Chains A and B, each alone.
Chain A
Amino acid sequence: MRRVLLLPTLIVAGLAAAALALVAVTSRSATREVAARIQQVRRANALAFRMAHLSAEEERDVLAYRVERSPAARERMAAVESGVNAVVAQMSELQLPPRGRELWSAALAARAVQERERRALVAALDAGSGGASVDYVRWQLATGRAGPLVADLTVFNLRRLERAVSELERVRSRSVALLFAVLAASGALVVAFSLVVDRWLVRPVRAMTDAARRIASERVAIPVPGGHRRDELGVLARAMTRTADDLVRANAELARSVAARDEFLSIASHELKTPLTALKLQLQLGQRREGGPGAPWLASAVRQVDRVGALVAELLDLARIRAGRLTLEPRPVDLAELAAGVAERLSDVLERSGNALAVDAPAPVGASCDPARIEQVLANLLVNASRHAPGARVSMRVFREADRAVVVVEDEGPGIPPDALERVFDAYEKGDRAGQEQGLGLGLYIVRQIVEAHGGTIRAGAGRSGGAAFRVELPQAAVAGAEGAAGTSAAARAP
């Protein structure tokens, strides 16, 4: 896998680097060559111009000397001669191409004839010879033969310069073409690499993701695609397949364990309920025989039996809920009246824990519910308040909001931490009093299940005084004396 990712990158980088290096070397070499040529051409042209200038100067000097044989003219001719010799020496150092050498050799040959005839003419003039006129004609014939050859050499050099520039342009064009070719090749390689990556990485990862989703949703053990591969993706696919198998197996074992536990709880609750009922009847019979609550141990025994009975009831409810056997018998109920009844029934419990309960249910509020179960819900919320906020004021408000019947139970206790608001409805959740609590932590869980089984909702939040507040909403139903939409202002303040 690493090779698949690394190799093309290295190839592209290597190609680009090689192309750039090649272009740089080629351009540099061509530039140097052209620069050298230009330098040669400049020198050759400068020397050619110098030669032409010296020839013209000499021609003037000879004509002047023919008129007046002055020493100054002789000195100038000598200076021209040494100047020409210097030009010849410098030109011989240049590397001229064959055609340039031919032109220069022809120019030098013509120049040599001209020089020879000049000397002969000067000698004849110095001697006052009558043959000077023939020498003059010869010098005239020889003069100017080198001029066109020097001009040809100059133009030839310029042609070379043009060709060098053209070559440089060709090198530049070739370099640009090479660069484009490398870029195109790199682009093609990148595209091919992308296709390879798509085929070898992206598609398998997508398939593995789909398989993982299916395993998660259907809880089935299916082989994750790519297990046959020998690379890291193959290792991952095989690991995912094994993990999925383990998870599915563990999930099945867990489900079996939960089912066994629920079945045990159901059986145990049923088995405990009958002897507990019998025990409580016998204890109550004992109390009646003694004509009152009886001995303190008898009253304590009755309370303990009630408590165990409540725990058994919770376990039975839990078993029913988990088994989907929670049955409801909904009917229109006046929730205000029902709440008042629950408050009255639990007044001694609240009184023992020092709670002052205020019920605010001024008008009938119709709700469609199983009254026994909703009584269980409200009782549970009040008992919950007495446990978590002993000695605090507790209020229970019943009102209507839009098409819902609402009950809010609120205390002025320490309240529920924000991060625990949702968690309090989980099974076996005891909040921050875990260890001190004597219950199973199933109360609010059962409350939520009952409310939601009615099509209602329950939410926990902060009350007006900062304590805990539980808001129960149930489907509305018409009952005698209930009004349309009342108590909305109260609802706005509820959690």
Chain B
Amino acid sequence: MRIGTARSSYRHDESLFDSRTQHAWLAVLAVALLGFPFFADEYWLYLACLVAINIASTTGLNILTGYTGLVSLGQAAFMGIGAYTVAALEQKLGTPVLLNLLAGGFVAMLGGLVVGLPSLRVKGLYLAIATIAASVVLHFVFANWHSVTGGHAGITVAPAEILGVSFDTSFRLYWLFVPITALMVLGAANLFRTRIGRAFIAIRDRDISAEVLGIPLLRYKLLSFGLSSFYAGVAGGMWAYFFRVVTPESFPLIMSIFFLAAVIVGGMGTILGAILGAVFMTMVPEALKLIVGWLPLSADATLILSPVRTIVFGALIVGFLVFEPLGLQEIWRRIRRFFHLWPFRA
């Protein structure tokens, strides 16, 4: 809590954002998000949409891994369920976009509930392997359930359309994805101020103690899997509307590792961590490309530097794990703390 924000009522005590400074910065963020599409070109809008999708999915995985302590490597497969649900509904029934996205979330949630069952008996690496196995099974279903998924060729998705407006450019999709992601992040932030969220944290800290405290492990672990998969499903649905082609190869295992890395790099068990982690994992490869592009080098040097860039990206991740195990959110917290007293204390 920062200086000068003494809480004087229960309402104030329960508020998500409790200081005027926070409100002011949130207003700045909102203005920046609203103004961004009018200044950014197609490339930056594309990246903004991609970041929004990745934040939604990373936040979902953070609920499961960061807050409940259940390691999952199935996030990409759950995104696949959402993406295929949206693609199939769009192609076969032409149902409204928001309904499709919700359906994508709920179908993925069902998948998550099934995959979550082993979490009662196994934890840690064993659970991670169980979720990989589930990913393999889902990949097989995506590739072979031809009547629904289109087999290996996949499904081509028509652009999202709401009230006659076709969301076929990154500019338009931005106005769809960013509010949805913002709602999902806000939902997750609020979740951990409820009994359910606190139960997740109790399970993460010590599941046996949580059970002794009266938290039904089956219900809450499955709920965590379900919620996480719901987030992945909606993110997958947005992915389907974004890339407009869904194939079994769209959601490989490496994508699940990407989200797990985002949770760890960002900071496990914090909402801001998931956001920063997703931004970092999506943007750093692009930022490195830009930096290499600025260097006064020949085209051949670009070729040589491409693998170097990959190594730098890997080294950055390892560097964060070694020097800041609490993740990017801890760095962010330190920056904030520094400015709380600045310029009175350096």
A binds B: no
B residues sitting closer than 8 Å to A (CB atoms) are: none
